[in-house]
Chain A
Amino acid sequence: MTSSMDATVVRTGTEGKTWGGGNQPLGASYGKLMMWFFILSDALTFTGFLSAYGFSRFKFMDSWPIADEVFNHFPFLHGVDAPMYYVALMTFILIFSSVTMVLAVDAGHQMKQGKVTTYMFLTIIGGLIFLGSQAWEWSNFISGEYGALKTKGGKILQFVDGEGHRVALEDIAVMHESERATHESNKGLWFESESTVSEFTLESIKEGFAANDDLYIRTLDFNEEGEKTVLSRAESQNWLDNNAVGVVEGANLTENEYGPPLFADFFFFITGFHGFHVASGVVINIIIFFNVILGTYERRGSYEMVEKVGLYWHFVDLVWVFVFTFFYLV
């Protein structure tokens, strides 16, 4: 009996050696190792997105929007120019939730269930606050601030006064009764739809421009000093008469009052993909949080699962560090 068993077992002579099986060759469990390789491939996906953003930016190097002018809102500070503060706050929220996560992992190593519970809870709250902040940032970006004109060639024309301060379309437009209304399904063809028509028409802007001598057009092109070019009154009139084709308010996937539509596309795509990661991270954290409360890892004798979701959570923070730099700083 014993001899027939021996015959079916193949001995490799590597038993007890690192790669002989039954070991953890890189000193990490299978699950942790696979989490690392998932993170690696996900990091390369984000690299692809951010490099593509860099490609488009290099392509439009002398007409790319200035981030400080696009993202300059802060809650309760209406109309105050507050560049960077809000996104810096978001960065801190995410870094801090990374800290509570790593504290949870640390408490797990010491088998302290209560502490792991508290820190996991704080991490989840941090993630939710970050997601809310991102929604607010998106909503500001989508609704826009001043509005602009677009040209035949897809350029964006913005309005400034003699001192270089931005002027909103609503302060320029001369409104008449006969403006066209947005088509709705209950008025006319029910199967036709269209996106919201701006309340301002090109004609109303032209009329307002003629009525106010202190208005100039600012293009997206950088001048010698690295600032956006402000045209003379005559040049402004020329662009308005010959090239302007419509009004743009806010940003979506096809139009963007701040600059090239590509800027908006990349913003939605990259921060959206990152936000999706945060959202799924929150969901995974919640699942693990309940497992911690139920004592699953206490019975298992190890909190390694907290460590694995922690890796994912830190990775989300790591990606944000790069998004922050390439969207808001550089």
Chain B
Amino acid sequence: MAHDSTAHQHESSTKRIWQVFGILSVVTIVEVILGIFRPPFLTETSIVGMHLLNWIFIILTLYKAYYIAWAFMHMEHETKGLRRAVVWSGVFLAIYLIFILLTEGDYIYEVYKNGYIAWDF
């Protein structure tokens, strides 16, 4: 019975695996190169409170995460229901948590900087 459920995957998908490995490697190499040289025009431009370089890093990370989940973890072969139950729940809660914690952290930073606390000792 278990055999039946995997019957449609009998053909080997090694080609796809190596292709994804190539993508992940190239993206990692790009990240490392950017991380070492930190091009000034990327660290000087700021979008929504963060350097353009940091946005690039985050987007590349999500790009890698997508390939790991979809290709290596076979999310692309799962049903739509399973995919949404896992991905949407996780992404929604993560965004919510990141939003409140970073907002609060930034607020405390402002208090330290402009409030009545001197930290010069």
Measured CB to CB, the residues of A under 8 A from B are 24-29, 33, 36-37, 39-40, 43-44, 47-48, 51-52, 54-62, 68, 83-85, 88, 91-92, 95-96, 98-99, 101-103, 105-106, 109-110, 151-153, 155, 226, 242-243, 300-302, 304, 307, 310-311, 314-315, 317-318, 321-322, 324-325, 328-330
Give residues of chain B (1-16) contacting chain A, Cβ–Cβ below 8 Å: 2-3, 5-6, 9-10, 12-14
25 contacts between A and B (CB under 8 A): A25-B81, A27-B5, A43-B94, A44-B90, A47-B94, A48-B97, A51-B94, A54-B102, A55-B102, A56-B105, A58-B102, A83-B36, A84-B35, A88-B32, A95-B21, A95-B25, A99-B72, A155-B119, A242-B121, A304-B2, A304-B6, A321-B61, A321-B65, A325-B60, A329-B54
Q: Contacting B58 at CB < 8 Å: which of A106, A151, A243, A330?
A: A330
Q: Contacting A103 at CB < 8 Å: which of B9, B17, B69?
A: B17
Asked if A36 and B86 make an inter-chain contact with CB atoms under 8 angstroms apart, the answer reads yes
Task: Point out the residues of chain B lying under 8 angstroms from A24, CB to CB.
Answer: 5
Task: Point out the residues of chain B lying under 8 angstroms from A62, CB to CB.
Answer: 109, 113
Asked if B101 and A84 make an inter-chain contact with CB atoms under 8 angstroms apart, the answer reads no
Known contacts A95-B21, A304-B6; A55/B101 CB under 8 A? yes
Bound CA span A43–B68, Å: 14
Bound CA span A68–B37, Å: 11
- Distance in Å: Cβ of A261 to nearest Cβ of chain B: 15
Known contacts A58-B102, A99-B21; A47/B97 CB under 8 A? yes
Known contacts A33-B82, A153-B121; A301/B2 CB under 8 A? yes
Task: Point out the residues of chain A lying under 8 angstroms from B98, CB to CB.
Answer: 47, 51, 54
| Majority secondary structure of chain B interface residues (helix, strand, loop or mixed) | helix
B78 at the interface (CB under 8 A from A): yes
> Number of A-B pairs whose CB atoms are under 8 Å?
161
Known contacts A40-B90, A55-B101, A102-B17; A152/B121 CB under 8 A? yes
- Counting chain B CB atoms within 10 Å of each CB, the highest count among A44, A59, A91, A243 belongs to A59
Bound CA span A92–B43, Å: 26
| Majority secondary structure of chain A interface residues (helix, strand, loop or mixed) | helix
Bound CA span A311–B68, Å: 10
Asked if B104 and A55 make an inter-chain contact with CB atoms under 8 angstroms apart, the answer reads yes
Task: Point out the residues of chain B lying under 8 angstroms from A302, CB to CB.
Answer: 2-3, 6
Bound CA span A109–B74, Å: 13
Known contacts A36-B86, A58-B102, A103-B14; A325/B61 CB under 8 A? yes
Bound CA span A95–B64, Å: 10
Asked if B13 and A57 make an inter-chain contact with CB atoms under 8 angstroms apart, the answer reads no
B52 at the interface (CB under 8 A from A): no
- Distance in Å: Cβ of B35 to nearest Cβ of chain A: 5
Asked if B36 and A59 make an inter-chain contact with CB atoms under 8 angstroms apart, the answer reads no
Task: Point out the residues of chain B lying under 8 angstroms from A68, CB to CB.
Answer: 35-36
Give residues of chain B (70-121) contacting chain A, Cβ–Cβ below 8 Å: 71-74, 78-79, 81-82, 85-86, 89-90, 93-94, 97-98, 101-102, 104-106, 108-109, 112-113, 119-121
